[in-house]
Structure 1
Amino acid sequence: MTTTPAPFLTLRDLRVQFPTDDGVVKAVDGLSLALPRGRTLGIVGESGSGKSVTGLAVLGLHDPRSTRISGSILLDGQELTTAPEPALEKLRGARMAMVFQDSLTALSPYYTVGRQIAEPFRKHTGASRRDARLRAVEMLGKVGIPNPARRVDDYPHQFSGGMRQRAMIAMALVCDPELLIADEPTTALDVTVQAQILDLLGDLQRQTGSAIVLITHDLGVVAGTVDDLLVMYAGRAVEYGPVGDVLGAPRHPYTWGLLSSVPRLTSDVTKPLSPVPGAPPSLLDPPPGCPFHPRCAYTERVGGDRCRTERPELPEGRGAACHLGPERARALFGGARRTGTGGDRP
């Protein structure tokens, strides 16, 4: 009998809201997930779906003066939403770390790249300046920076965009964190460096048993990297399951729309891509019922006004927050991904 490993990171009904003059922005609206050690969770969705906001909430990086956070965030059983800032500072960089999406603003222009990588290593391990510098050189080499012993004394503006991104990854990994949240870690990197970075993350996980959250728009990256996939829309989780199941047999029209937007080598180049119609909803005033229903082509197959009035919930385990149900979704989308035909369009 196999036992399910205990989750290292647990989110329960997480809600992140930003009060504004125009109303309250519901950036994350009731998100729950559980991530064990040694597993990689991919989070995908359009810009504004709440992916990065979730990552920042886990690390406690939202300004409490302008943010409302409710629900629960547990790291190895420790509640983070109510933890004082000194306790979070001890965790950030040591047990949990984040690769930020915008390396230009995440790195300070006033300090060398090497000093910024060495600083968390010294703080959390008590290493000497010399040992911390050697560790910074080592990490720059691991992420593919040429001549790291010299470039360690360069400033961020002396690095290209791709090199700054790699330096951010080196900073996040310098203390071998048990939880790594990587927000678009392969942005601005060519495919060979992308593969190198993803291999590095895999090596970290094999060596330390760390849990990894990979936030990305690249479905190709998640297909070959993550164990489980969470699809977010309008601040909510709309589909979850093993990555092969979600990509091979999606159960939510939004997931199928994302997959249909990706060009394939076997596609007819004379035909246009099939983007998800419409635009993401305003998080100040999300649509009633299913938040995807204004853009969904399958609401009539559900019947009545259920999609417009009743908000579907995401079941535990493999499932989707959709009124179609798994059997009807399988009939609509299940074989389409394998054949590349575009599915059963209404």
Structure 2
Amino acid sequence: MTTLTKTEGERAPSGSEAFLSVRDLRVRFSTEDGIVKAVDGLSFDVERGKTLGIVGESGSGKSVTNLTVLGLHNPKTATVEGEIVLDGKELVSATEKEMEKLRGNKVAMIFQDPLTALSPYYTVGRQIAEPFMKHTGASKREAKARAIEMLDKVGIPQPAMRFDDYPHQFSGGMRQRAMIAMALICNPDLLIADEPTTALDVTVQAQILDLLKDLQQEFGSAIVFITHDLGVISKMADDLLVMYSGRAVERGSVREVLRAPQHPYTWGLLSSMPRLGGDTAQALTPIPGSPPSLLNPPSGCPFHPRCGFTSEVGGNRCSTERPELPEGRSAACHLSGEQRSTFFIEQIKPRLG
């Protein structure tokens, strides 16, 4: 079998633990209605062997961020600024040829809907084997053997027989497993999972999450896990980034953020979740209003039109001054740390049980 090789890039500076480092990322799209500010000054790090969870409502910029890491935007309509460094190699300025060497090899993505991500015209096995041939120079025979090995690894029964099946012959859970096999066939150092369990029932969802954790331990990959489900994040992630209107509004370890959230938006997400064993007669507390338009985002804090705590800040600071997100465990909010702790303990925590 051909030995797997990886694209070598410039090494990260000594002392840097981040395998993926994103700094002040801004992604804008030109449309007939104007400029869409899909990502607006985002920064985060992902360490080797760790999982970063990214949560937020639809339109918060989660998927756009990770498609940008892969360089999958149309350069005619998208403008990307900032810095993306993967294992010491800067990606924003990378050429398409350089990105092709990385995609599927050093970094791979599991898409949300495998039925649309997989081509209906080719067998599942061929689609899994293709990136292995492209990046390693393996023969068709070697690639087929490797693809069957990966189908077996992700739990597809009778993998040698299913190699020649088409996507429509697989169940939803099996298609997602096939997507995972395709993403992992070249042993990527970074795996991006874009809501990979959204369309699956809870039993299959649990199996897929367990599979990803087991494969991460085996391959040592860093994972960026995108979802709107905080329950899934609590099971999967080491660190958590909460996004709103193209920006990060809170970050920290999963334990810190879920046990003692500091941002009113995170409070809203947690308060709107149903809980096992909770009072079935108690109504959920939805976040009022709708996510802001990315064509014309509000001034100041982007969450202030929906926030119930702006009056506690005083003046019109929330509507005129955009709060920044400091390094480390932090939240982008004008409330003081003492105010946030008090409001969470007295008003939010009793709702969470």
TM-score normalised per structure 1: 0.94
Residue 71 of structure 2: aligned partner: 60
1:135 to 137, 146, 165: 146
CA distance in 2, matches of 1:341, 1:69: 40
CA distance in 1, matches of 2:49, 2:207: 19
Residue 8 of structure 2: aligned partner: none
* 1:340 Cα deviation from its structure 2 partner: 4.1
* 1:158 Cα deviation from its structure 2 partner: 2.0
- 1:7-43 alpha-carbon deviations (Å, 9 max, x no partner): 1101111011101111100000000111111111000
Q: Is the 8 A contact 1:5 1:36 kept in 2?
A: no
Aligned pairs (5 A) from 1:296-307: 296-307=307-318
CA distance in 2, matches of 1:227, 1:116: 31
Residue 164 of structure 1: aligned partner: 175
Q: Unaligned stretches of 5+ in structure 1?
A: none
CA distance in 2, matches of 1:197, 1:162: 8
Q: Is the 8 A contact 1:14 1:69 kept in 2?
A: yes
CA distance in 1, matches of 2:57, 2:205: 21
* 1:308 Cα deviation from its structure 2 partner: 0.5
Name the SS for the 1:168 alignment partner.
helix
After alignment, is 272-281 or 141-150 more displaced? 141-150
Confirm whether residue 309 of structure 1 aligns to residue 304 of structure 2.
Answer: no
After alignment, is 199-208 or 33-42 more displaced? 199-208
CA distance in 1, matches of 2:137, 2:347: 55
User: Which residue type is aligned with residue 215 of structure 2?
Assistant: L
CA distance in 2, matches of 1:38, 1:101: 22
Name the SS for the 1:64 alignment partner.
coil
Residue 155 of structure 1: aligned partner: 166
Q: Is the 8 A contact 2:29 2:78 kept in 1?
A: yes
Q: Unaligned stretches of 5+ in structure 2?
A: 1-13
2:273 to 262, 270, 285: 262
2:332 to 314, 318, 321: 321
* 1:264 Cα deviation from its structure 2 partner: 1.3
CA distance in 2, matches of 1:6, 1:271: 45
* 1:185 Cα deviation from its structure 2 partner: 1.4
1:107 to 118, 122, 127: 118
TM-score normalised per structure 2: 0.92
RMSD over aligned Cα, in angstroms? 1.8
Confirm whether residue 223 of structure 1 aligns to residue 234 of structure 2.
Answer: yes
CA distance in 1, matches of 2:333, 2:164: 53
After alignment, is 223-232 or 144-153 more displaced? 144-153
Confirm whether residue 49 of structure 1 aligns to residue 49 of structure 2.
Answer: no
Name the SS for the 2:152 alignment partner.
helix
- 1:239-273 alpha-carbon deviations (Å, 9 max, x no partner): 00000000000100000100001111232211221
User: Which residue type is aligned with residue 329 of structure 1?
Assistant: R
Name the SS for the 2:236 alignment partner.
coil
CA distance in 1, matches of 2:282, 2:70: 44
Confirm whether residue 124 of structure 1 aligns to residue 135 of structure 2.
Answer: yes
User: Which residue type is aligned with residue 351 of structure 2?
Assistant: T
Confirm whether residue 286 of structure 1 aligns to residue 262 of structure 2.
Answer: no
Q: Is the 8 A contact 1:179 1:210 kept in 2?
A: yes
Residue 182 of structure 1: aligned partner: 193
Call closer, same or farther: CA 1:182–1:317 in 2, change over 3 Å: same
Confirm whether residue 213 of structure 1 aligns to residue 224 of structure 2.
Answer: yes
Q: Is the 8 A contact 1:97 1:181 kept in 2?
A: yes
Residue 36 of structure 1: aligned partner: 47
2:32 to 7, 15, 21: 21
User: Which residue type is aligned with residue 75 of structure 1?
Assistant: L
User: Which residue type is aligned with residue 265 of structure 1?
Assistant: L
Q: Is the 8 A contact 2:108 2:192 kept in 1?
A: yes
Q: Is the 8 A contact 2:113 2:196 kept in 1?
A: no
Q: Is the 8 A contact 1:336 1:342 kept in 2?
A: no
1:341 to 305, 330, 351: 351
Identity score, percent: 70
